[in-house]
A and B are shown apart, each in its own frame.
Chain A
Amino acid sequence: MSARVQAGLTHALLIVWAAVMIFPFLWMLATSLKPAPEILAFPPHLLPRAPTVLNYVRAFQTAPFGRFFLNSLIVAALSTAVIVATSTVAGYVFGKFRFPGDTAIFMLFLATAILPLETYMVPLYLTMRDWHWINSYPGLVAPYLVMSFGVFIMRQYFRTALPDELLDAARIDGASEWRIFLRIAVPAASSAMAAVAIFAAIQAWTGFIWPLIIASSQDMYTMEVGLAFFQQRFTIDYGAITAGATVSAVPIIAVFLFFRRHITEGIAFTGFR
């Protein structure tokens, strides 16, 4: 077999497989744009013949998807802001200072990432209950305020990319440690912080079991929880269900489109948490 034939075959297989992988997304989008008779048409056709946004209108009218979307945005924004702050501070301390037990504490931070949230969600829920954080934004973000992976990224950055001389020069000029951190370290680390922010935002947006147990009234549902309940109640309205699904998936797909390389490699190396 010649090299060209072989390359052609490889591409053919990869394209077929890509079609299989992307089909559910296309089918979701297509169904969400089809009028009801087309959705149940037999035999089914891929592209909507008379595209309509009525499914989206109906979804937003029958369930407060606007509110769900807003809740997801708030949770993602809060979580991202806090994770970036905690990761940067902790990463800076671990990367630039020596103190007794520093490695042990750093390892403990990392070690907690081994266990998924599901192992300790019961006691964490009980704590939230004691604090009256059930069904509130603080409760929704509580497990998403620190990220071991974020601390790790920031520590690596400060250790390898920020020269000590820069900080020492500022110390000689009499700047306080906080001032050095905010004026020198933080601006220098902005691209590493952006990477942490992307992971934090995706993690918060895609979380499911935690908002499912913490949000007890509809006005606190995130997009994921709202969509899960919506499809339970309107099992057969696939137009509205796929419309809701599209709205929930698009922000993450857009983020992925923009930051593709960072995301695949970053996640592959460490996973979330």
Chain B
Amino acid sequence: MLLVPAAFFVLFRVIPIVQTLRLSVFSWDLISRVKPFVGLENFSALLADSNFRLALSNTTVFAVVTVVAGVALALVVALPLARRLRFEGAYQFIYFLPFITPTVPEAVVWKWIYDARYGILNYALSFVGIQPVGWLLEPRTTLWAVIIMSVWKTLGYNMVLFIIGLRAIPAEYTEAGLIDGATGWRFFRYLTLPLLMPTVLLVTVISTIGAYNVFTQVYVMAADIQGSPGSVVRVLIYDIFENAFRFYRMGYASAEATVFFAIVLLLTLAQFRVLRGGAE
């Protein structure tokens, strides 16, 4: 009975994962019959590749800012929502909506919001005396534009995890704190936050993995003037995508995917440590 699901897992997951590692030590352009073994040459070439280094640094900046902002904001909205106040369901629905909706239509709308001439964001900013910004016209501002959109998109997911974490804090602790007269910021800083720390770490790791995986919104929003998608802000997955499917450097792209693989694996190990720490 288990044969068909097991076969699918092996064919469409296990084998490709192993193949990624194997291909990374070959050089192959998809067409030639020869597929020379090059050892670690792909990896040493990656180290010297300015596109790859740019992608790695862009993705890291993106990940750090998106995760810090996304985690902090999510915690702020989760605190009142965890107390089961009125209309909690409606708030949760709205905050979670950007996460569940497909990314392409969202990115498309944000592109329109960011439009330099007609965009509503520049219009809104004009009220506080900010000159129109060419949001998607140069790499620096485009990176920030993508970061803002991504915080908006992922915040609801973090929020749900925080709500679950906050509700799991035993009532005795909070009651004890109230009896001791702790309120407001002190209550949060010395009571809630330490108890919530495992969840904070967990959310941080999960969102970092997600952030390193960023592609769709960059592909749509960071197109250059010639319409070449995703090229203004080079991120890791975009670079893999371009090497594999535009330049047909399959071995090279696999080496890059292996680096990505290692990043995900390290973050996952961190996640397991956090989970284990929380269980103790």
Enumerate chain A interface residues (CB-CB to B < 8 A). Answer: 7, 10-11, 14, 17-18, 20-22, 24-25, 27-28, 31, 39-40, 42-44, 86-87, 89-90, 92-93, 105, 108-109, 112, 114-116, 118-127, 142-143, 145-146, 151, 177-178, 181, 202, 205-206, 208-209, 212-213, 223-225, 227-228, 231-233, 235, 238, 241-242, 244-246, 248-249, 252-253, 256-257, 260, 263-265, 267-269, 271
B110 at the interface (CB under 8 A from A): yes
- Closest CB of chain A to B102's CB: distance in Å? 4
A-chain residues with CB within 8 Å of residue B268 when the two chains form the complex: 114
Closest B residue to A151 by beta carbon equals B5
Whether the Cβ atoms of B152 and A24 lie closer than 8 Å is: yes
Q: Is A25 in contact with B97, judged by CB distance below 8 angstroms?
A: yes
Question: Are B5's CB and A21's CB within 8 A?
Answer: no
**By the criterion CB–CB under 8 Å, are B123 and A44 in contact?**
yes
Residue B164, interface by CB 8 Å:
yes
- Interchain CB contact under 8 A, B237 and A118: yes
Instruction: List the one stretch of B38-46, B111-119, B168-176, B190-198 in contact with chain A.
Output: B111-119
What are 10 A-B pairs with beta-carbon distances under 8 A? A21-B156, A31-B109, A112-B9, A119-B261, A146-B12, A209-B237, A228-B219, A248-B104, A252-B102, A268-B164
CB within 8 Å for A14 and B80 given contacts A114-B265, A252-B101: yes
CB distance from A207 to the nearest CB of B (A): 9
A208 and B103 contact, CB distance less than 8 A: yes
Given contacts A7-B85, A18-B91, A120-B257, contact A248 B2 (CB under 8 A): no
Minimum CB–CB distance from B111 to chain A (whole Å) comes to 7
For B89-110 the 0/1 string (1 means CB < 8 A from A) is 1111111111111111110111
What's the dominant secondary structure at chain B's contact region? helix
Smallest CB separation, A243 vs chain B (Å): 10
Query: How many whole Å from A127's CB to the nearest CB in chain B?
Result: 7
Produce 1/0 per residue, B223-266, CB < 8 A to A. 10001010000000100110011000010011001001100110
Nearest CB of chain B from residue A150's CB, rounded to whole Å: 10
Structural contact, B97 and A119, CB atoms closer than 8 A: no
Q: How large is the interface on B (under 10, 10 to 19, 20 to 34, 35 or more residues)?
A: 35 or more
Residue B185 CB within 8 A of the other chain = no
Residues of B within 8 A of A228 (CB): 104, 108, 219-220, 229
Task: Let me know if B104 and A21 touch, CB within 8 A.
Answer: no
A-B contact count (CB 8 A): 242
Which residues in A have their C-beta under 8 angstroms from that of B105? 28, 227, 244-246, 248-249
- B147 CB to nearest chain A CB (Å): 15
Listed from nearest, the 10 A-B pairs whose CB atoms lie closest are: A123-B19, A245-B105, A120-B16, A268-B160, A86-B5, A90-B5, A206-B102, A124-B16, A112-B13, A123-B16
- Residues in B11-35 with C-beta less than 8 Å from chain A: 11-17, 19-20, 23, 30
Given the contacts A10-B85, A22-B94, A44-B120, A109 and B4 also touching, CB distance less than 8 Å: no
Alpha-carbon separation in the docked complex, A238 to B114 (Å) = 12
* Chain A residues positioned under 8 Å from B110 (CB to CB): 24
Asked whether A18 lies within 8 Å of B245 as measured between CB atoms, the reply is no
Q: B77 near A: Cβ within 8 Å? A: yes
Residues of chain B contacted by A105 (CB below 8 angstroms): 2, 6
Q: Are B253 and A256 in contact (CB under 8 A)?
A: no
Find chain A residues with CB under 8 A from B240 CB.
118, 122
Closest beta carbon of chain B to A157's beta carbon, Å: 16
Q: What distance in Å separates the Cβ of A148 from its nearest Cβ neighbour in chain B?
A: 8
Given known pairs A18-B95, A120-B16, A209-B215, the reply for A28 and B109 (CB within 8 Å) is yes
Cross-chain contact of B123 among A24, A43, A93, A212 (Cβ < 8 A):
A43
A residues near B245, Cβ cutoff 8 Å: 125, 213
> Closest Cβ of chain A: how far from B257's Cβ, in Å?
5
Q: For the complex, what is the distance from the CA of A246 to the CA of B101, rounded to whole Å?
A: 11
B108 touches A202 (CB 8 A): no
Complex: A105 Cα to B14 Cα, angstroms: 12
In the bound complex, do residue A123 and residue B14 qualify as a contact, i.e. CB atoms below 8 Å apart?
no
Q: How far apart sit A88 and B137, CA to CA, in the bound complex (Å)? A: 49
Give the complex CA separation of A109 and B15 in angstroms: 13
B120 adjacent to A21 (CB under 8 Å): no
Q: Are A209 and B108 CB-contacts (below 8 A) given A22-B97, A90-B5?
A: no
Q: B207 CB to closest chain A CB, in angstroms?
A: 11
- Cβ–Cβ contact A224 & B112, under 8 A: no
B98 in complex: contacting residue of A24, A265, A267, CB < 8 Å: A24
Roughly how many angstroms separate A89 CA and B91 CA in the complex, as a whole number?
37
CA distance A209 to B261 in the complex (A): 17
The answer to whether A125 and B160 have CB atoms under 8 Å apart is: no
- What is the CB-to-nearest-CB distance from B95 to chain A, in angstroms, rounded to a whole number? 6
Check B23–A122 contact: CB distance below 8 A.
yes
A123-B254 CB under 8 A given contacts A18-B94, A92-B1, A142-B12? yes
